[in-house]
Amino acid sequence: MTTMPPKTMPSKTMIVTGASSGIGLAVAEHMLAAGWTIGLVARRADRLEALAAAHGERAIPMPLDVTDAAAVDEAFARFAEQTGRLDALFDNAGVFTPTAPLDEIAVEDWRRAVDVNLTGMFLCARAAFGLMRRQSPQGGRIILNGSISAHVPRAGAAPYTATKHAITGLTKQIALDGRPYDIAASQIDIGNADTELLRDAAKQAMDRGDPPPHVMDVADVARAVHLMADLPLSSNILFQTIMATKMPYVGRG
C-alpha cells in the first residue's frame, strides 16, 4: 500500500500597515520568519521593495496611503486574490504630531492625526472585515495598535491621545460586529518600544525637561502580536498591554 505524503499547509496570511519602519517593520519581519505570507503596507515603496527582496515571494509590497479609501480597498482585494484569503490584519500605521499646550496645537496637526491614526485604521479594518466576512471559510482576526496612550496621555499630545482612545471604541465595535462572521478583534497597547517614533516623542519630552523614557525591545512587541494572531478564532485576546517594565504607567502621586 502506497502512503501519500502529507499535504503542505498553505501559509497563513496577514497584512501589516506601517510596515516600513518601527513596530510594523518588526512585526512584518517576525511573521515572515514564522512562515506567514505578509502584505506590506506603507507609503515608502522603496523600503517595502527592499524588505520584500530580502524575504522572497511571501513578502508582498503594497505601497499606499492608508487615508486613501479607494487605494486601501483595491490593494486589500488584490492581496486576497493573490493569496487566496486574508487571515489577519495588524492595523498599525500611525503618526505622532508635535507636542504643545492645547491652544498651541495646529489644527492641521489635529486633522493629520485623525486622518491617519483613526480614519486610516478604520479604512484598513473596514477593507479587511469585508474580505473576512465573504471568504470561505469565513472569518479572520483584526489587531489594532492602541498604545498606552489609549489609557493615559503624554503631556501636550492631545491629537495622539484622542485618536488612540477612539481606537478602543473601534476595537470593541469590530469585536461585536464581527461575532456573526467569526471575525475576532483585538487591541494591543504598547508602551515605549524602542522605535524611531518613540525617539521623536522622547526628544520632544526631554526638550521640556522630562527624564528619558524606559524602553523595551521592539522584538518583544512582535512576539506578542504573533501570539494574538496565532490563536484559533474560537479564542481572542481582546486587550493586551505590553510595556517597558520600569515605565511609570502604574501608580499615582
List the grid coordinates of 227. 501570539
What are 17's strand-pairing partners? 41
Q: Say which residue the cell 484569503 belongs to.
A: 85
SS3 40: strand
Residues with a known catalytic role? 160
What are 187's strand-pairing partners? 144, 239
Integer Cα distance of 240 and 172 in angstroms: 13
The dihedrals phi and psi of 171, each to the nearest 5 degrees, come to -60, -50
- Residue 130 and residue 113 in contact, taking contact as beta carbons nearer than 8 Å: no
Integer Cα distance of 123 and 133 in angstroms: 15
What are 63's strand-pairing partners? 42
Helices (H), the chain: 22-33, 45-55, 69-83, 107-113, 121-134, 158-178, 196-207, 218-230
